[in-house]
Amino acid sequence: MAVLLTCDAIEKSFGSRTVFSDISLSLHDGERLGIIGPNGAGKSTFLSILGGEMSSDSGSVSTRKGVTLAMVVQDPRFDPEMTVREVIAASARGENQEVEVSKIISRVGFEDPAAKAGTLSGGWRKRLAIAAALATQPDVLLLDEPTNHLDVEGILWLEKLVVSSTFASVFVTHDRYFLENSATRVAEINRAYPLGLFSAPGNYSRFLEKRSEFLRAQSKEQQALENLVQREIEWLRRGAKARTTKSKARIQDAGELQEQLSDVSSRNRKGTAAIDFTATGRMSKRLIAGENLSKSMGGRLLFKDLDLVIPPGIKLGVLGSNGSGKSTLLRILAGEIESDSGEVRRAEGLRIAWFDQNRDKLDPNQTLKRALAPEGDTVMFRDRPQHVAGWAARFLFRQEQLELPLNRLSGGERARVHIARLMLQPADILLLDEPTNDLDIPTLEVLESNLIDFPGAIVLVTHDRFLLDRLSTLLLSMDGEGGTEYFAELAQWEQASAAKKAPVKSTAKKDTREPQGKKKLSYLEAREYEEIEHHVAQAEDILESKRQQLELPDVVSDPARLIDAVAELDTAQDIVDKLYARWAELEAKQSA
């Protein structure tokens, strides 16, 4: 395959801070390169240098003669008075531009080409930016966090676009499913690697295998160097005289080995945010219950007659297109706004931790120190004081960043500030509205693990399909036209969505019957629904008895009995969790 783009030993610094150095790679015809890396590694800067929008401090970037590049930035901006068609037409190249613009409008999914750019949501602005880039007929498309602001349907559309196109693409993303489904090669910018970058052919899972092999080898290298350095140190301690040429050379070699070991050791050190939410331990049967909830915004019906039950332990994922009412539903559950009809009942003294995707509660001019510790130099975490510097370090902030205003932090760093503040609130339920935006993959993995272990309830709105798939015990789909539907897993929702979009085959005789409504409970399910509250009560009694058994002195003092008691407690807890999940499922179906 022909090489379209090459960068050779490029380096970039901002002030005294070197973002990356000595990075080299090539992009081949038809290749789809995914770029990952921790927050602050310089991924967006690297992409801007490739696109010619920023210059490197050293090194070079070259493209094959005649190659056209187009770039889509993270947060695209347009003249708010220009129409969709005008924005795309302004970028169009080649002959028959009017026809090409119409094709692109259809391909990208705009139903109203006359819509003003200023009226578009974040997701549709991202689609418009992609459409304008396509109009340039690029040989290489550069995408910076392309899935941000897109709903799940939009991400599936983008995947199909990237995979089916003839142009090569480079995309910076933290979306692991997008990487898995779209990339033909993945590269990570990270100081953990000798040249600042590690690249492997294949999709994301293949990259993880190759990276694991590399890091294991690097770890073995560190161990070998440690042994070698230790032998040289022992030789020096025995009183080696620096008189002969051989002795001087060996002393110099020992110093170089120590520098080499220091370099390898620093690369092997990993930094990930320590995320740990605190639950209150409440075991109320229902934390929040909503009945016949309806809400319209701006004259548009978002959802109607929605029933939901949020018991402890449930992890409810909420799906829907942009503007379908997902965030509005969370605001209703949080008590920030009221539904138009229906009733929300909350357990007495309910404690809610609320992560707002707009992050409006942060003052951009406030320092990091004051944002983390508003009332002094310490924070209280699980009833124990922690100095703000230590608390900041837990979220990968450096000491010198404490006095920086929040508007000087990256999007990922501001997201970590929100999570740090949220962790200080013991909660029965976490309401999370797009918590993964701007987070790097290592932080995402830590966040996921903690949310999985969180014993309270979670209601999660996210476009991150990996997180939805891994975390959710139940999914609520909102179509933005008043309809809602529950699904057991993401694959079930994807199948249902595909079925709705599939063309209906014509038949000789048109079926004029009214479409059937949602199926109610069957006879056996109705019997199960009538009895499930009793079963939950019995299971909770058993769970409590297992907890008490775990505290008996003769059990605590006997290791074998203690192991058995813990296993029995885990089994009892699992039974309670499954009963609550089944109760929520039956209640939703009964109310449909």
**CA atoms of 289 and 310, how far apart (whole Å):** 6
**CA atoms of 433 and 443, how far apart (whole Å):** 17
Residue 341 has pLDDT above 90, yes or no: yes
Nearest to 319 by CA among 494, 580, 517: 494
Strands 315-320 and 457-461: parallel
163: phi > 0 → left, psi -120 to 50 → alpha, else beta; which? alpha
Residues 100-115: tens digit of each pLDDT: 898 899 888 888 899 9
Cα of 101 vs its chain's centroid, Å:
33
What confidence category does residue 239 fall into, taking pLDDT thresholds of 50, 70 and 90? Answer: low
Residues 2-16: tens digit of each pLDDT: 899 999 999 999 887
Residue 429 has pLDDT above 80, yes or no: yes
Residue 509 has pLDDT above 70, yes or no: no
Looking at residue 515, the DSSP 8-state letter turns out to be P
What confidence category does residue 224 fall into, taking pLDDT thresholds of 50, 70 and 90? Answer: low
Say how many residues make up the chain. 592
Residue 130 has pLDDT above 50, yes or no: yes
Task: Say what the pLDDT of residue 506 is.
Answer: 42
Mean pLDDT across the chain, nearest whole number? Answer: 82
Task: Say what the pLDDT of residue 265 is.
Answer: 53
Contact 55, 49 (CB under 8 A): yes
**CA atoms of 128 and 84, how far apart (whole Å):** 7
What confidence category does residue 508 fall into, taking pLDDT thresholds of 50, 70 and 90? Answer: very low
**CA atoms of 23 and 46, how far apart (whole Å):** 9
Residues 6 or more apart from 522 whose CB is under 8 A from it? none
Percent share of the chain, pLDDT over 70: 81
Write the DSSP string, 437-506. Answer: TT--HHHHHHHHHHHHH--SEEEEE-S-HHHHHHH-SEEEEE-SSB-EEEESSHHHHHHHHHHHHSPPPP
Looking at residue 83, the DSSP 8-state letter turns out to be B
Percent share of the chain, pLDDT over 90: 35
**CA atoms of 109 and 124, how far apart (whole Å):** 9
**CA atoms of 416 and 397, how far apart (whole Å):** 9
Task: Say what the pLDDT of residue 70 is.
Answer: 95
More confident site: 31 or 250: 31
**CA atoms of 88 and 117, how far apart (whole Å):** 11
Nearest to 445 by CA among 31, 77, 158, 38: 38
Task: Say what the pLDDT of residue 231 is.
Answer: 66
Nearest to 276 by CA among 149, 155, 384: 384
Sheet-wide strand order for 315-320? 352-355, 429-433, 457-461, 315-320, 474-478, 484-487
**CA atoms of 75 and 82, how far apart (whole Å):** 17
What confidence category does residue 517 fall into, taking pLDDT thresholds of 50, 70 and 90? Answer: very low
H helix intervals, 302-349:
326-334
Task: Write the CA distances from 156 to 103, 150, 184, integer angstroms.
Answer: 19, 9, 17
Beta bridge partners of 341: 294
Task: Say what the pLDDT of residue 48 is.
Answer: 94
Residue 355 has pLDDT above 90, yes or no: no
Residue 89 has pLDDT above 60, yes or no: yes
Residues 451-493: tens digit of each pLDDT: 888 888 999 999 899 889 889 999 999 988 899 999 988 888 8
If one counts every other C-beta atom within 10 angstroms of the C-beta of residue 21, the result is 18
